[in-house]
Copies of this chain bind each other. A is one copy, B any other.
Amino acid sequence: MPANAFYAQSGGVTAVINASAAGVIETARNHPRRIGRVFAGRDGIIGALNEDLIDTSRERASAIAALVRTPGGAFGSCRFKLKGLDEHRAHYERLVDVFRAHDIRYFFYNGGNDSADTCLKVARVSASMGYPLACIHVPKTIDNDLAGTDNCPGFGSVAKYVATSMREAAFDVASMASNSTRVFVLEVMGRHAGWITAAVGLADDDAHPLPLVLLFPEVPFDEARFLARVDHLVKTRGYCCVGVSEGLRDASGRFLSETGLRDAFGNAQLGGAGEQVARLVRDRLGHKYHHALADYLQRSARHLASKVDVEQAYAVGREAVRAALRGENGVMISIERRSDDPYRWSLGRVPLTRVANREHKLPRAFISRDGFGITARARTYLQPLVRGEAALKFTNGLPAYVRLANVSIEKKLAPFEA
């Protein structure tokens, strides 16, 4: 009997994380003599700790294929972070116990920075316990901040969504600006890194020149300079669009969303960073504004996913299985850029020691000198990642997505008590 595999989704989900799941499961199914069943953790790694393992072999091939076009996390995810070995050794050992009980020899963990760290520790603990386990990290994060890879599956689709949304809203506000709304503010995700904020900049190009201001989490918010810029754009172009990171901070490093700006009466105005700067524009410049908060819409918008992103998400899942079958362990599958234009990429492997607890920061050279826009280098990097429209199935005018049966296998161990 071939050994089984375990797959889990970790952290915030994306429009394409299920494509990685499909890549793992379909590739495993193609190697029935080497891999038995693929179990998925219900609600991520928590499912492994609780021995709540979903038997993906009970899903039809058509359902697994439909994962490629279904957003969210098909098996559930979690934000539970395993801590260091000193503190959480029992958890790591429990994982190995569960894997041993179900003859799981392959561990595919689909997540961001934290899960790369977890994956590395599981590899070490299983080795120290003498249990052979191939631990492969499958990259995923809309934030694009994973080290060791040119880009992360999940990011390209968010980038395409926020850039498209800003361009469309800009056409709207431009129509209304002569006598109504003059400033449009879109708040986007990316609390600690401005990759998504930078992607908003793609909305503005030669064929669609927009009066756009970006507020990056990397650039401390300078109220006076910001207001001057907005005012200038409204005066010269008639309107202004503002893309704001949810993680915008003031000069002292505090999040605007936590501290609040003060209104004319000195009262703190609570709300997200986008709402804050929108109100500021109204209160100080007197412009009517509209304000959108994309929130989950941006990371679940499978209907507007980037084809490149979907393909890469699937490919890293497929390659994770192949790497495990080659005997690799403690690595993350990475995306390597071969050329910008035409865009060419290939897959690689990076030791998890080079991924865990590191961060792929937005280069300062991607932010324009004035701090309010992106550079040509940023465009060159970002542009290929939003390219292509991914296939979708519509039923009754709406995207048709799949829900799996998600049947658990029988437990063999006593409940875990941490």
Contacts and interface: CB of A to CB of B under 8 A. Distances in A.
A160 interface: yes
A320 B70 CA distance: 42
B395 A386 contact: no
A182 to B, nearest CB: 13
Given A271-B275, A290-B296, A179 B43 contact: yes
A290 B299 CA distance: 12
Interface string A2-31: 000000010011010000000000000000
A302 B163 CA distance: 13
Scoring A13, A172, A203, A303 by chain B CB atoms within 10 A of each residue's CB, the highest score goes to A172
Given A71-B171, A168-B302, A203-B398, A178 B297 contact: no
Contact of A292 (B176, B295, B396): B295
A12 B71 CA distance: 32
Given A207-B395, A399-B164, A179 B293 contact: no
Contact of A178 (B76, B168, B186, B388): B76
A70 B170 CA distance: 12
A337 interface: no
Interface in A386-410: 386-389, 394-401, 403
Interface of A is mostly: mixed
A121 B173 CA distance: 28
Contacts of A294: 292, 297
A400 B163 CA distance: 12
B43 A160 contact: no
Interface string A37-55: 0000011001000000000
A80 interface: yes
B167 A399 contact: yes
A293 B296 contact: no
Contact of A388 (B297, B386, B389, B397): B397
Nearest to A184: B296
Interface string A361-393: 000000000000000000000010011110000
Interface residues of A, number: 73
A46 B58 CA distance: 64
Contacts of A259: none
Contacts of A397: 160, 202, 306, 383, 386-388
Interface in A129-177: 160, 163-165, 167-177
Among A178, A383, A403: residue with most chain B CB under 10 A: A178
A403 B180 contact: no
Contacts of A186: 297
Contacts of A300: 168-169, 171-172
Contacts of A169: 295-297, 300
Nearest to A165: B297
B303 A168 contact: yes
Interface string A74-86: 1011111000000
Interface of A: 9, 12-13, 15, 42-43, 46, 70-74, 76-80, 160, 163-165, 167-180, 184, 186, 202-203, 205, 207-208, 271, 275, 290-297, 299-304, 306, 383, 386-389, 394-401, 403
